Amino acid sequence: NAGVTQTPKFRILKIGQSMTLQCTQDMNHNYMYWYRQDPGMGLKLIYYSVGAGITDKGEVPNGYNVSRSTTEDFPLRLELAAPSQTSVYFCASSDYGTVNTEAFFGQGTRLTVV
Amino acid sequence: AQTVTQSQPEMSVQEAETVTLSCTYDTSESNYYLFWYKQPPSRQMILVIRQEAYKQQNATENRFSVNFQKAAKSFSLKISDSQLGDTAMYFCAFMATSGTYKYIFGTGTRLKVLA
């Protein structure tokens, strides 16, 4: 099993550009999450989804959008990139109610906005 | 709203010694899970140990164990016989079992194991 796969691993964007961070999981998990990690700030929840077609805002959703058309995929869209969105982004999935209650993470995307 | 606090931004320990990382949390929930994740320089988030709040017995995984004090809302991680490979960021996380199953993370503790 590949687990949670994020692409790309690194990206440099210019201010005002847009991009989509891809996330896919092959564990048939219902719950998926997007976090951003800034130095000294831990992981902050951007958006999450409890199943296909259902998404909701987390702590820091401004400047981002998500969709969940399938169980496997949960892309994160950045519109009009700003320097404040420079961060490391993590996608995660979980399936509470099974033995595995923990979140499984992708390897992260380091995004720099210049 | 739930919060998770890690009050030690950085710690160091000599190889083979024991170190304890602190974590406190705030919640009004009665049922929840607590986790410790390790993030080495590779950036990958790796589960170290998990604790279910309804279980009184502290979880252990080889050299890793927790001290879970539910009344005090405290969840510390003890690493015994520290190894150079334990050098990493460690994050404490909370997940309530009611509602939307969001994971709330602390700000992390950077642990350095010294040779």
8 Å CB contact of B107 and A41? yes
- Listed residue (B6, B7, B3, B8) closest to B25, CA to CA: B3
Min Cα separation B106/chain A (Å):
6
Note the pLDDT of residue A101. 81
For residue A100, name the pLDDT band (cuts at 50, 70, 90). Answer: low
Does A73 score more than 90 pLDDT? yes
The half-sphere exposure of B41 on its side-chain side, counting CA atoms within 13 A, is 4
Size of interface A-B (CB pairs under 8 A): 57
In angstroms, the CA B111 to CA B91 distance is 11
pLDDT per position as a tens digit, B7-56: 999 999 999 999 999 999 999 988 899 999 999 999 999 999 999 998 88
Does A43 score more than 60 pLDDT? yes
Does A24 score more than 60 pLDDT? yes
pLDDT per position as a tens digit, B48-84: 999 999 888 999 999 999 999 999 999 999 999 999 9
Contacts of A9 in chain B (CB under 8 A): none
Residue B33, CA distances (Å) to A81, A105, B15, B101 in order: 35, 17, 30, 10
In angstroms, the CA A41 to CA B108 distance is 8
- Listed residue (B85, B73, B88, B81) closest to B23, CA to CA: B73
Mean per-residue pLDDT, B87-104:
90
Do residues B94 and B42 lie in contact, with contact meaning Cβ atoms separated by under 8 Å? no
